Amino acid sequence: MNILIAGATGLVGNELLQLALQNELINSIDLVSRRTIKTEHPKLEQHIVDFSDLKNWSCQAPIDTVFCSLGTTIKNAGSQEKFKEVDFEYVINLAKWAESNKVQKFIVVSSMGADAKSSIFYKKIKGEMQEVLSTLHIPSISILQPSILMGNRQEFRLGEQIGISIMNILNVLFVGPFKKYKGIHAITVATAMLNLSKMKAPGILISGNDKLFEIAKLY
């Protein structure tokens, strides 16, 4: 496969990149970002792009699968409008780029509880993003809806760290029908993304948190 990754500076995206670099089935990796990362590898090519205007951007190799883990927080973005720009507009622009470049698979990280009708702004934006994605003509679209993400972030997020600490205590209780609420490690989500790229999943496939644990163990 020739793949493209957006969001490799984030928690899930970085784990995905490391897995992809080690995967013999992946011939080339085009990484799109607003800044470069220190990782170097013979099959990795980095591109600094403007996600608000991807129409005229192109990469040398035809892309089979696009992986998208773009995302921020309202605090880091500075406002709800800036948050929506990253978590909605940038994602949709990338998906439209994939559509126009005949990409076969688009795999994106959303959120548990994403709902365009939600009163919670974060979940509302994620839900709106999913609704627009479902209208695009990409043969296979996989939407992942993880619970709170576990792992070592490069940036410190107090609220998230508190949530992770609570999840570490409660995770043993989240079994059976409650598994969908269990905290999930970023590498598990990244592994599920990579495994989804190997699966035949035409149309729209939405994978909830509990399903991600299963997909991560498939290969």
Domains held by the chain: number: 1
Interval 178-188: pLDDT, tens: 567 789 999 99
Q: What is the pTM of this model?
A: 0.89
Share of the chain above pLDDT 90, in %: 79
Q: Is the pLDDT of residue 161 over 80?
A: no
What's at 20, amino acid-wise? A
Interval 82-141: pLDDT, tens: 999 999 999 999 999 999 999 999 999 999 999 999 999 999 999 999 999 999 999 999
Instruction: Compute CA 69 distance to the chain's CA centroid, rounded to the nearest angstrom.
Output: 3
Which CATH number fits the domain that encloses residue 31? 3.40.50.720
Domain containing 51 equals 2-215
d(CA 133, CA 127): 10
